[in-house]
Amino acid sequence: MKRVYEVLFITAIFLLICLVYKGQPRISLNGGQGWDGVYYYKITEQIFQGENPIVGELPFIKRPGTPVLIAAYSRITGIDLLDSATVVNLAGIYLTTILLFFWLGVFIKDFWLKGMLCFLFMMAWYVPLRATFYDPLSTDAWGAVWFLAGILLLSTIRRMHELKKRKAFLLYLIVFSIVVAIGTIFRESNVILFLALFFIMNPLSGWKKLSLKHFTFSDLLQSVGGMFKTYDSSVTLFFLIPLVFIMVVKSVLSNNIVIEVGDFSYVKTLFQWFYTKSLPEFLLGIFNACGPLVMLLPFFVKEIRRILWERQELLFLLVMAFLFGFIGGSDTERIFFMSGFPVLLIWMGFAIKETFESSKRWWLYVLCALQTISFRFFWILPDTPSEDWSKPVPFFGFLGEHFQYLFLYSHHGQHILNSILFLEYVALGIATWYVLSRKSNAKNSKASI
């Protein structure tokens, strides 16, 4: 019963945020369709009209899941496609938030902390709660539903494997395979869950013996050999089941779509961003995505390291989030956070709790106050296109709403303003180190007395 009340509380917060920000004007660009939304709208229209096959451009035509839901909702209710997209994606992000709450509960017992992390997730200006009111045609919300459902199932599959419950293991693996396969038609990056499955065996455990101080190639070869020996079991053959489901879904999809000729290439895009995105731009994207509270994370590595080593699938997903954030496209903030939020929020939760329970709680309050500015609690998203070319005041984000929307992103922003933001975060990191190191010194001096 307690869990029911907790879910009701999270639901109330979700509805309150919707009520507060429902006045967010929709983007003007392309009649409210935004950038990528132009392609998704075309796909949704064809589905709504019952056309088959569906024609579209890469990579959008590979993500028909959300357009199917939007078209179905519009056909049932009679509401136009853009308004239907708003309702459908809000429903998706609500389900994501509830799944996130259950996921956080695996590692965090304090309800106030789980609620706070869910609240921060919902309040980020680029997450598809507030962003849906602004730009409704997106696939992130429902992509996150299947992504988080897959991670929850991964945790259960690991447990069944450790308990040697083979029938339950196979049952959950099949359900996982269905979830991942369906998830790939919402966001094709969900296929990464299939690779994460191989890490529930903790194949990197042997690497712990490696030491940089006493490094030898013999130890390295033994670690690599031990990693492959991890899979020397008939059980690992079952890990290919999700691949079968993915191939079936992709085959069905390929028979029902026609790809318009274009120059898009997944490989070309990855290499393009690898060679063009600078490290400062990438770091600023991470700062923007996580807000000032991200400055706590480097000082609480020990708290998350144990979990990542015991559940190496989470380590793999976190590494891939950083990789996707760097080479996945221009929107570093959105791509990085939406790829890694299940792990990042656990890490942030540990950091918040440790700081809250320390003598430096006041610094957590400072960071939370700055977080409200970074996540734009007090302002709506500015319109695009806009005739207002005013330069906003950079203070851990941009104050106000009278500026170009793209300034909010590290890649599209104005270089001088971005440099000021970057230096502000560097200064905040130094200040955080100073505050937290004083806490450690105080502990040491007390222990010596």
> Residue holding tokens 């806009």?
386
Assigned domain for 367 exists:
yes
Instruction: Report if residue 401 sits inside a domain.
Output: yes
pLDDT category at 265 given cuts 50, 70, 90 is: confident
Residue 158: the pLDDT is 94
Q: Are 313 and 196 in contact (CB under 8 A)?
A: yes
Predicted pLDDT at 264: 80
| 3 state SS of 54 | strand
432 vs 285, 313, 422, CA distance in Å? 19, 30, 15
Q: How confident is the model at residue 177 (pLDDT cuts 50, 70, 90)?
A: very high
Asked whether residue 217 carries a pLDDT value surpassing 60, the answer given is no
**SS3 category, 389:** coil
In the DSSP assignment, the letter for residue 26 is P
Helices (H) and strands (E) in the chain, counts: 18, 2
pLDDT of residue 448: 29
Contact 142, 31 (CB under 8 A): no
More confident of the two residues 65 and 209: 65
Tokens of 90: 């809000």
The rounded distance, in Å, linking the Cα atoms of 142 and 144 is 5
Q: Choose the weakest-confidence range: 99-103, 232-236, 433-437.
A: 232-236
Q: What pLDDT is attached to residue 213?
A: 55
Q: Confirm whether 203 is domain-assigned.
A: no
pLDDT of 206 over the 80 cut = no
- pLDDT for res 289: 97
Q: Which residue has the higher pLDDT, 282 or 203?
A: 282
User: Any idea which of 99-108, 227-236, 275-284, 422-431 has the lowest mean pLDDT?
Assistant: 227-236
Measured between alpha carbons, how far is 138 from 430 in angstroms, rounded to an integer?
37
Residue range 126-146: average pLDDT? 95
The confidence score (pLDDT) of residue 109 equals 94
The answer as to whether 446 is a domain residue is yes
Contact status, residue 306 vs residue 350, Cβ threshold 8 Å: no
Say yes or no to pLDDT of 1 above 70.
no
Residue 66 corresponds to which amino acid? T
The whole-angstrom distance between residue 100's C-alpha and the CA centroid of its chain comes to 11
- Checking if the pLDDT of 442 tops 60, the result is no
Give the structural domain span for 427. Answer: 278-449
7 in Cβ contact with 101 (< 8 Å): yes
- Torsion angle of the four alpha carbons 437, 440, 446, 448, in this order, in degrees rounded to the nearest 10: -100
In a domain? residue 27? no
- Predicted confidence at residue 62, as pLDDT, reads 94
State the DSSP string of 179-248.
HHHHHTTT-GGGGHHHHHGGGGG-TTGGGGG--STT--HHHHHHHHHHHHHTT-SGGGGGGGHHHHHHHH
- Name the band, by pLDDT with cuts 50, 70 and 90, for residue 267: confident
Domain total of the chain: 1
- Residue 62 token pair: 């590979």
To the nearest 10 degrees (0 to 180), the angle between helices 332-356 and 279-290 is: 60
- Which pLDDT value is given to residue 136? 96
Return the percentage of the chain with pLDDT > 90, whole number.
80
pLDDT in tens, 294-310: 999 999 998 899 999 99
Task: Provide mean pLDDT across the span 210-233.
Answer: 59
Q: Is residue 434 part of a domain?
A: yes
pLDDT tens digits for range 322-361:
999 999 989 999 999 999 999 999 999 999 999 999 999 9
pLDDT at 443 exceeding the cut of 90? no
Q: For the chain, report the end-to-end CA distance as a whole number of angstroms.
A: 48
For the chain, the average pLDDT equals: 90
On whether the CB atoms of residues 427 and 405 are closer than 8 A, the answer is no
- Convert the pLDDT of each residue in 44-98 to its tens digit: 999 999 999 999 999 999 999 999 999 999 999 999 999 999 999 999 999 999 9
pLDDT digits (tens, 9 = 90+) for 234-244: 778 899 999 99
Residue-wise pLDDT tens digits, 365-388: 999 999 999 999 999 999 988 777
Mean pLDDT of 101-124: 96
Residue 98 maps to a domain:
no
Q: What's the chain's Rg over C-alpha atoms? A: 23
